[in-house]
Chains A and B, each alone.
Chain A
Amino acid sequence: MNKEIIRFKNVVKSFGSNLVLDKISFSMFKGELTAIIGKSGIGKSVILKHIIGLLRPDSGEILFEGEPLSCMSEKTKHQLKKKCSYMFQGNALFDSMTVFDNIAIPLTEASRFPLFEIKKKVENIMEKLDLEGIESRYPAQLSGGMQKRVALARALITEPEILLFDEPTTGLDPIRKKEAHRMISDYKDKFGFTGVVVSHEIPDIFEISQRIAMIDNKKIIFEGTPQEITESVHPVIIEFLSK
């Protein structure tokens, strides 16, 4: 088994009186693609937002390579954030910027690379993701699939060690969905990142993931391999997988 990289330990999160996560505990491992599955609106994206630091747990702990996030200095957190990238469900592309600027922004604003090097890196990633020729277009001028690829390019440009995908296939047709899954899997092999994917694309997501965590009723009810989940006799899992 690979080295544990992220661990949720009894994490509780509520928004007002709405309890979303109730003492959830599970782990993600280096170099693996972990899929978080579950019904819509159950708190899958909330888990991802805790990893990237957009949300903080009410109680419990998130550990990065064994070190609690709450005990880290701001500088360490900053360094850690540099290792992570997040691909939003709605892409979160900057609509008043061109595709080139959207992809380049993590480097132009948060790194000290010279401009010519940034240009080279952007061109390189655009070529790898078949995005050539659309540098000067705006996100609104692109198809849904292209927007996804631009968002992926932006997430990959910093060569992250951990990449978080929030429902990367939402709004795509079945063919594009398969393509997106294959793309994530291929790029995971190519770039060697650790991936966490929030998805409800069952069973497609099992083909590209090494680990599955299923959330239901505010708790993690399953943690294991895709094979183990398909063999599970848990009634909620059986019902979820059969639909």
Chain B
Amino acid sequence: MKRIKNNITAVPFIFLGEKTLKIIKKLGRVVILFAKGLFFGFIPPFQFSKIIDQIYFIGAKSMLLICLVGSFTGMVLGLQGYYTLVKFGAEGMLGTAVALSIIRELGPVLTALMITGRAGSAMAAELGIMRNSEQIDALKTMNIDPVRFLISPKIIASIISFPLLTAVFDVIGILGGFITGSLLLGIDTGTYFSSIELNLVISDISEGLIKSIIFASLVTAICCYYGYYTHKTRAGFGAKGVSQSTTSAVVTSSVFIMAGDYVVTSFLL
């Protein structure tokens, strides 16, 4: 081993190997944390009140944000879609273009990104502070499993909230497209909605909802991981550790949402 280390040509491979092992270890921890949290969600005693609290925090409190982002996304799509379709004389298909773009892609992706920024960062910060102030250790000393107590309700609540928020985003987005397409640019209301009805199939909706469930799992697993293991970050303990784990949680979740979107789309298409 020493001989290999001394060999200058081996240095990049050693570096690569160490980095790869580190990433695999990290991924393993994320998966185990998520699997444990999900498992506890189905084992009595059920934590209904904590799950409802989390649904309120992740879901209900994100409604305004989702409505705002959804409406503006739909409005922009209405404008851009009209500008493109009118060149081909196909402006009657604007409803289909807006609805399919939102339901299959933008709805689940933007909803997940918005909740990551709002609730995911909060999850990471909350767990990070609890780790730094020994509250997680305190739970362990009291025979309370911190994954069950803290992470499980967040996972279950996310899996319930993400698809519902995505559905809200979809509806608001389609209405946003209607505002610009029909009310501002003059496309017939009937044409706009009937084109959606004619061309949208149930698999488009189910694909969007499947994506949102996958994104919910990704976001919660990543954000909870970074918060729970704040003490293992480079900055370690203290305010810097929490700030680093929160940033990492949001950035990593966002990257995984985009990458996951591509993978899921390629499988479902």
Which A residues contact B (CB, under 8 angstroms)?
A: 49, 52-54, 78, 81-82, 84-86, 88, 90, 92-95, 105-106, 109-110, 158
Residues of B near A88 (CB, < 8 A) are 134, 137-138
Residue of B nearest to A94 (CB): B135
* Given known A86-B138, A109-B149, contact A92–B143 (CB-CB < 8 A): no
CA–CA, A180 to B134, complex, Å?
A: 21
Q: Which B71-130 residues have a C-beta within 8 angstroms of A?
A: 129-130
**Are A110 and B134 in touch, CB under 8 angstroms?**
no
Taking a contact as CB atoms closer than 8 A, the residue among A78, A82, A92 that contacts B135 in the complex is A92
Could you show 20 A-B contacts with beta carbons less than 8 Å apart? A52-B140, A53-B140, A54-B137, A81-B143, A84-B141, A85-B141, A85-B142, A86-B138, A86-B141, A90-B133, A90-B134, A92-B133, A92-B135, A94-B130, A94-B138, A106-B142, A106-B143, A109-B144, A109-B149, A110-B142
Contact status B143-A78, CB under 8 Å: yes
Query: 8 shortest A-B CB distances, which residue pairs?
Result: A92-B138, A92-B134, A86-B141, A106-B142, A110-B143, A109-B144, A52-B141, A81-B143
Count B interface residues, CB 8 Å: 13
List chain A residues, Cβ under 8 A from B134.
88, 90, 92
Q: State the Cβ distance, A163 to closest chain B Cβ, in Å.
A: 11
Whole-angstrom distance between the Cβ of B136 and the nearest chain A Cβ? 9
Query: Smallest CB–CB gap between B156 and chain A, Å?
Result: 17
Determine chain B's interface SS by DSSP, over half rule: helix
Residues of A within 8 A of B142 (CB): 85, 105-106, 109-110, 158
**Contacts of B138 on A, CB cut-off 8 Å?**
86, 88, 92, 94
Q: How far is the CB of A134 from chain B (nearest CB, A)?
A: 19
Greatest chain B CB density within 10 A among A78, A84, A88, A109 is at: A109
* B135 proximity list for chain A (CB < 8 A): 92-95
Residues of A within 8 A of B137 (CB): 49, 54, 88, 92
C-alpha gap A109/B153 in the complex (Å): 14
Q: B140 — which chain A residues lie within 8 A by C-beta?
A: 52-54
A86 to B143, CA, bound (A): 11
- Rounded to whole Å, the gap between the CB of B127 and the closest CB of chain A is 12
User: Which residues of the other chain, A, contact B130 by a CB distance below 8 angstroms?
Assistant: 94
Which B residues touch A86, using CB under 8 A? Answer: 138, 141
Q: With A92-B133, A92-B135 known to touch, is A110 a contact of B144 (CB < 8 Å)?
A: yes
Q: CB distance A54 to B144 under 8 Å?
A: no
Chain B residues lying within 8 Å of A106, measured Cβ to Cβ, are 142-144
B143 proximity list for chain A (CB < 8 A): 78, 81-82, 106, 110
Distance in angstroms between the alpha carbons of A170 and B143 in the assembled complex: 26
Taking CB as reference atom, which chain A residue is nearest B149? A109
Which of chain B's residues have a CB closer than 8 A to the CB of A110?
142-144
- With A90-B133, A95-B133: A81-B141 Cβ-Cβ less than 8 Å: yes
| CB–CB A105/B144 < 8 A | yes
Q: Cα distance A81–B143 when bound, in Å?
A: 7
B residues near A54, Cβ cutoff 8 Å: 137, 140-141
Contacts of A109 in B (CB 8 A): 142, 144, 149
Q: Beyond the given A95-B129, A106-B143, A158-B142, please list 5 additional residue pairs across the A-B interface where CB-CB is below 8 A.
A: A92-B134, A92-B137, A93-B135, A105-B142, A106-B142
Q: Could you tell me the distance in whole angstroms from the C-beta of A140 to the nearest C-beta in chain B? A: 11
Closest to A102 in B: B138
User: Residue of B at shortest CB range from A107?
Assistant: B142
Contact with A along B134-161 (1 / 0, CB 8 A): 1101101111100001000000000000
Residues of chain B from 3 to 62 with CB closer than 8 A to chain A in the complex: none
Nearest residue (CB) in B for A82 is B143
Instruction: Chain A residues near B144: list those with CB within 8 A.
Output: 105-106, 109-110
What is the bound-complex CA distance between A86 and B135, given in angstroms?
12
Min C-beta distance of A138 to chain B, whole Å: 13
Nearest residue (CB) in B for A81 is: B143
